Amino acid sequence: MSFLDQLNPEQRRAAQILSGPVLILAGAGSGKTRTLTHRLAHLIASGTPAHRILAVTFTNKAAKEMKERTARLIGEARAASLWIGTFHSICARILRRDAHLLGYDARFTIYDSDDSLTLVKRIMRDHGTLDDSLKPGIVRARISEAKAFLLTPEEYARNRKGPAAAVIADLYRRYQAALISNNAMDFDDLLALPVRLFRTQPEVLEEYRNRFQHLLIDEYQDTNQAQYVLVKMLAESHHNICAVGDDDQSIYGWRGADITNILNFENDFPDATVVRLEQNYRSTRTILKAAGAVVRNNRKRKVKELWTQNDPGDHLTIAELVDEKDEAEWIRERLVRLLEDGHSYGDIAVLYRTNAQSRAIEEAFVRSSKPIPYTVVGGLRFYERKEIKDVLAYLRVIDNPRDSESLRRIVNVPRRGIGEKTMALAAERMGATGLPLLDALRTLEEHELGPRAYKPINEFIRWLDALIANKGEMAVDELLEKILTDTGYRAQLEQDGSVEAETRLQNIGELVAGATAYVEANNEPNVSAFLQDIALVTDADEVQTDGGSSVTLMTLHSAKGLEFPVVFVSGMEEGLFPIAGSLQDAAELEEERRLFYVGLTRAQKLVFLSYAQRRRRFNEWANTQPSRFLREIPDELLKWDTRSTEEPGRHILDQRRFREDGFVGVRGTSTRRIPTVGDEFSQESSYADDFSQTTDSFLAIGHHVMHPMFGRGRITAREGLGLDTKLTIHFDSGQTKKILVRVAHLEPCV
């Protein structure tokens, strides 16, 4: 077929194998999406009905792009019935139809990680286990791990040892019972419950096996045990499975991904055909050589050698700086030079291992004589903001009245006089009757509460019941507008008048606009589908690279799947990258190395690497050693950037340090070997994932700042990271305000 002529020989081979198991090892920048869309198009053009193909991606954005590209190749009508989406969206689709077989209503609510943690905290509080000995976050992580491995609470108790195992198993049981009572599922349930459905309802499994004659699973290296089992069950009868991925880009082991799924594919399917996509279209030869030299140090990998017809390109630039402030300033200086050389802001990404590292870089950009516009990826997600979660909680209750957790969130938000006594009586009634919270509130009578307490709860329930009864007659955006107006939520923010309140109003406006766009784009829009779409938005879906208006700052994990002409990788230090926890574990260290490989292969033209001699850890200075990954890059691919001018208050590196054995000149700059890291690595130079913020910035507690509206004030408290930092400021006017840094336009003052 003519559209296959657009592919290189290996891509074409991958697209043309239409039966049996196929493993496509797609190296970074090798045209994977093009290959997959052409394979889908070829399947349909060869006679396979689109509705008999299941294609699974790891982001909604990737699913949309794949469907649109396929439609362009063969026409929208032929591609329209493709089942394509993320694991979570596909599983949610299955469960909307069949969840009743597992004791759920089709209108189940999907809880995000914050909702899940809130529920765990409440259960621990109610059962007296909320203390310093066992953190809710740990409990939630263990429950998530159990579900990823398809373990019930009873199986978890049998399989896990240690004093906390029995307690966690009991909390897991209570947590799951609460989810069922609320007619809710967490993200892990969306994957685990279809497996249970297929195991307990073989006729349902057979139906889906017959429906999906061809499976295409993208990013196979990132699948966990539940996803692996689900795919195996669906492919069991026909073995028409095409797994696509790159073991060298497996970087999510910390959240349950199992690299052995892709490494053992040929054991699972002995008749599998393996196709290697090794021609890279993204990066220069030098970048590919450097990345390949690093990743070849891993033992658990499939052999592949990326190559390219692109130019050799420039050497990778490396710099040793004094501390994180010096490093940030160096990044800023190099960035300014890149702009002078013709690059745009949108060409450039600054990558780091932990979110906390962005602070120093952000400050350097803001304080630049010409401030550098930037976007931080991976901060507080839009749908995790308080005002958004509040408003969506109203929608959740209207759609699923059994959702007691969402009702708890909004029963007195904004304040309407429903107090703790009322809620305590309702909780008692829930415990005695097993009723959902809303039904328990309905049973409360005036003589139990008194007229003053009864009136607000009665009015609230009548208002809520009216919306529940009439939700089908209102578009989602109309329903949101009614909630915001009737509850006084919008009016309260308008009356506040603070900068933070204005930001919250803007966010709410964006939510309503999104709902309007959803209504316009869907033939049969409804609240359930809208809430599901929102719940299944991934971090990657929210990444915006805006084509030139700002520099992108993000963690290396967030950069997966993206590309930029210029990439900075900062913090190349032992204990930071690789992270300290990986240094004693071979598998984790290999994953850190793969993460560095991912960082390098995001770059098209230029790579800049930096490390600091010292860095603050827990507000104390710690000396550092350069990352072992730097030593794994051949010297001939590196050039050193050294400072030659003294700047006030800056410690300048001794230039003689760059004249050691192994010194060679490259393009007018100096190069040297990376210092060797021995087994004597000191723990005092290691770092935790959550770096403390340095307190020498003007945003430190105790410092005075100037606010454009409230005037001069003193910082009394600080929470959060980067531009999601919130400051509590006591102003000279006598007011005390909580201020969001990213919108406050604060200036230092005495």
DSSP string, 402-450: T-HHHHHHHTTSS--S--HHHHHHHHHHHHHH---HHHHHHH--HHHH-
Task: Please give the model's pTM, rounded to 2 decimal places.
Answer: 0.80
Residue 329: pLDDT band by 50, 70, 90 thresholds?
Answer: very high
Tens of pLDDT along 162-177? 778 889 999 999 999 9
Tens of pLDDT along 104-140? 999 999 999 889 999 999 999 988 777 767 889 889 9
In terms of Cα–Cα distance, which of 29, 655, 1, 717 is closest to 308?
29
pLDDT higher than threshold 80 for residue 310: yes
Ramachandran area for residue 130 (φ above 0: left; ψ -120 to 50: alpha; else beta):
beta
Residue 221 DSSP one-character state? G
Q: Which of 489-503, 593-607, 629-643, 699-713 has the highest mean pLDDT?
A: 593-607
Give CA separation, 430 vs 419, 723, 725, in Å: 17, 42, 39
Kindly write down the DSSP assignment for every residue of 555-592, as one continuous string.
ETTTTTT--EEEEEE---BTBBTTBGGGTT-HHHHHHH
Q: Which amino acid is at 555?
A: T
pLDDT higher than threshold 90 for residue 161: no
Structure-block tokens of residue 745: 């336009």
Tens of pLDDT along 417-447? 998 899 999 999 998 998 999 999 999 999 9
Q: Are 187 and 96 in contact (CB under 8 A)?
A: no
Q: Are 42 and 16 in contact (CB under 8 A)?
A: yes
Q: Which of 472-486, 541-555, 668-682 has the highest mean pLDDT?
A: 472-486
Q: Are 579 and 589 in contact (CB under 8 A)?
A: no
What's the mean pLDDT in 283-308? 96
- Which residue is listed with tokens 């990376």? 674
- pLDDT at position 691 is 32
pLDDT higher than threshold 90 for residue 228: yes
Structure-block tokens of residue 43: 């399947």
Cα–Cα distance, 414 to 168 (Å, whole number)? 35
- Which residue is listed with tokens 């496509």? 24
- pLDDT at position 714 is 84
Q: Which of 291-300, 658-667, 693-702, 712-721 has the highest mean pLDDT?
A: 291-300
| Spatial strand order in the sheet of 22-26 | 83-86, 53-57, 214-217, 241-245, 22-26, 273-277
- pLDDT at position 1 is 61
Residue 721: pLDDT band by 50, 70, 90 thresholds?
Answer: low
pLDDT higher than threshold 80 for residue 204: yes
Q: What is the 3-state secondary structure (H, E, C) of 117-164?
A: HHHHHHHHHHCCCCECCECHHHHHHHHHHHHHCCCCHHHHHHHCCCCC
- pLDDT at position 698 is 67
Cα–Cα distance, 681 to 633 (Å, whole number)? 20
State the greatest distance between any 2 C-alpha atoms of the chain, in Å, as a whole number.
Answer: 89
Cα–Cα distance, 417 to 321 (Å, whole number)? 57
pLDDT higher than threshold 60 for residue 470: yes
Cα–Cα distance, 4 to 7 (Å, whole number)? 6
- pLDDT at position 690 is 35
- pLDDT at position 338 is 96
What's the mean pLDDT in 142-152? 93
Tens of pLDDT along 615-649? 887 667 889 999 999 999 999 999 998 653 343 33
H/E stretch holding 97 reads helix 87-98
Tens of pLDDT along 80-109? 899 999 999 999 999 999 999 999 999 999
- pLDDT at position 498 is 83
Q: Are 460 and 444 in contact (CB under 8 A)?
A: no
pLDDT higher than threshold 80 for residue 699: no
Q: Which of 72-86, 277-291, 409-423, 466-480 has the highest mean pLDDT?
A: 277-291
**Contact residues for 728 (Cβ-Cβ < 8 A; gap 6+):** 715, 716, 717, 718, 736, 737, 738, 739
- pLDDT at position 620 is 77
Q: For the ranges 193-197, 242-246, 497-501, 665-669, which has the lowest average pLDDT?
A: 665-669
Count CB-CB contacts under 10 A for residue 83: 18
The percentage of residues in the chain with a pLDDT greater than 70, rounded to a whole number, is 88
Active centre residues (catalytic): 32-33, 218-219, 249, 602
- Which residue is listed with tokens 């297929």? 198
Q: Are 147 and 224 in contact (CB under 8 A)?
A: no
Residue 694: pLDDT band by 50, 70, 90 thresholds?
Answer: very low
Q: For the ranges 5-9, 141-145, 663-667, which has the lowest average pLDDT?
A: 663-667
Q: Are 746 and 739 in contact (CB under 8 A)?
A: yes
Cα–Cα distance, 301 to 590 (Å, whole number)? 10
The percentage of residues in the chain with a pLDDT greater than 90, rounded to a whole number, is 65
Residue 676: pLDDT band by 50, 70, 90 thresholds?
Answer: very low
**Residue 723, helix vs strand vs coil:** helix
Give CA separation, 39 vs 80, 244, 405, 462, 695, in Å: 16, 12, 44, 55, 55
pLDDT higher than threshold 90 for residue 218: yes
Structure-block tokens of residue 740: 């969001």
Q: For the ranges 248-257, 627-636, 728-737, which has the lowest average pLDDT?
A: 728-737
- Which residue is listed with tokens 């401030």? 371
More reliable by pLDDT, 236 or 694: 236
Count CB-CB contacts under 10 A for residue 498: 18
- pLDDT at position 547 is 57
pLDDT higher than threshold 50 for residue 664: no
More reliable by pLDDT, 348 or 714: 348
- pLDDT at position 139 is 92
Structure-block tokens of residue 503: 């930001």
Cα–Cα distance, 478 to 653 (Å, whole number)? 62
In terms of Cα–Cα distance, which of 215, 123, 112 is closest to 167?
123
pLDDT higher than threshold 60 for residue 693: no
CA dihedral 136, 142, 147, 150 (to 10 degrees): -160
Tens of pLDDT along 342-382? 999 999 999 999 888 988 899 999 888 888 999 888 766 78
In terms of DSSP H, where are the helices of 701-744?
741-744
Terminal CA-to-CA distance of the chain, rounded, Å? 72
